[in-house]
Amino acid sequence: MKRFKLYKCKLVAVLLFLTVPAIISALPVSSVPDNTEAESSIRPVYLIEVEGVVTTGQKNFIERQIKNAIDKESQLLIIRINTPGGLVDATMKINEQILNAPMPVAVLVAPSGAIAGSAGTFILMASDIAAMAPGTTIGAAQPVAISPEGAGEAGDKTVTFYASYMRNTAEERGRPGDLAERFVTENLSLGSRESLEKGMIEYLAGNIHELMNEIDGKEIEKLGEIYTLNTSEAPVLQEEMTFAENFQNWLSNPQIAFLVLMAGFLGLYMGFNAPGTIVPEVGGLILLIMGIYGIGLFDVNTTGIILLLVGLGLIMAEIFTSGFGVLGVGGVVSLAIGAIMLPVEPLMAPDWYRGFIVTVGGVVLGFAIVVLVIIQRIIRSRRRWTGGSEHFTPPVKGVTVNELNPEGQIKARGEYWRARSINDSKIPAGKEVKVVKAETLLLWVQLPENEENRNAGTK
């Protein structure tokens, strides 16, 4: 009877899983109006703010903002930066985007007291216009190698490569390459005024508007084109990070990524050492995928798709097996994170993406409700089952799954039970046993009399 009720719950889960997303996705999705500025004869300036560690999330944000700046027909992109450094791969990708952007890009180290250390200096050298606020600092860009023993100096080949990269980038922008090279080889650091005197930057500006006034009327040559800036009265456009980008930025922080990765390994280790607990395995798998993304081995598209597939797999496993809600909860969590991780693709219509998010949200909400109902019924059933002997009828006989020595498992009525031999004797696996008594969920068993007599005769 109980098994029939459980299957009935799971049938309801399947129906809701199929119908709720369809109903929700069929609802009209309100279109979000574009926050475009009023038409003006002066083309806008697009502003991006980079705070904290340079991560893959920051790289994705900057990539999207450059595309937005192009769509808005901006005359200039300004990146205001304040960072102690960051990931090498993310920094190289950001530089590639800056160097190939079809518009001038200015980098301003601000406000006063800010720094553009390590990765920030690489980004500054790639800019068409480099500026610093008074009291800011750049440099200390020697690469660091991270290992299980901790952080240490990178090898000579690595240092030589990035020193050459820094030199070439600076010289391409008309800045002294020999001095830029020393940022990497000698961990050189420079203040704002010294940087201006030595030609590492072109302007001192305390904020964005000061910089826009300074560069007004200047001509910038880039990718074979001449751009004349008209920035003193230009409107400034800016967008904040989306929730997905903030999540990606947080997860790709090296410290967070390492902790998430270790938590994933620990969960799988605990699960493999205690089979059947389910919770550590499911949680460990999800955390492991997230940790691999955080350290940069998966890109955001791959991670999102993997998490969506894992989520669907866990939900299917919950529907057709006795996961006691754990697999379902893990599937819901994995689906939600996977949907967050998927970036907005520029070639995909915004309405499609919003509809996709609504559909995933419907699946998550619908199945979450079903899982909560199933878990509630299981808990209520467990409490009633162990509350007194009138609600618990132990099986009469079973078959040993493994050797009872003196404890082990038997299979009875299609279920696995913890069992112990009545006289603490060994009972081999595959033997039929008789249940003598039951204590809560522990069954005391013995071999049938004819089997015991045969064993006694052989002795």
Alpha-carbon distances, residue 49 vs 189, 228, 235, 269 (angstroms): 22, 24, 16, 41
Q: Is-contact 134 113, C-beta < 8 A?
A: no
CA 93-99-105 angle, 5° bins: 110
- Token pair of 398, please? 């079973």
The Cα–Cα gap between 79 and 353 comes to: 28
- Token pair of 445, please? 């068993």
Is 118 annotated in the active site?
yes
| CA nearest neighbour of 120 among 79, 60, 177, 61 | 79
Alpha-carbon distances, residue 93 vs 120, 173, 427 (angstroms): 13, 18, 65
The residue annotated as part of the active site, out of 41, 157, 389, 459, is 157
Is 93 annotated in the active site?
no
Q: Count of CB atoms within 10 A of residue 29's CB?
A: 15
The residue annotated as part of the active site, out of 10, 74, 118, 192, is 118
The Cα–Cα gap between 174 and 156 comes to: 27
- Residue matched to tokens 């460990």: 284
The dihedrals phi and psi of 204, each to the nearest 5 degrees, come to -105, 125
422 DSSP 8-state letter? T
Give me the active site residues, please. 118, 157
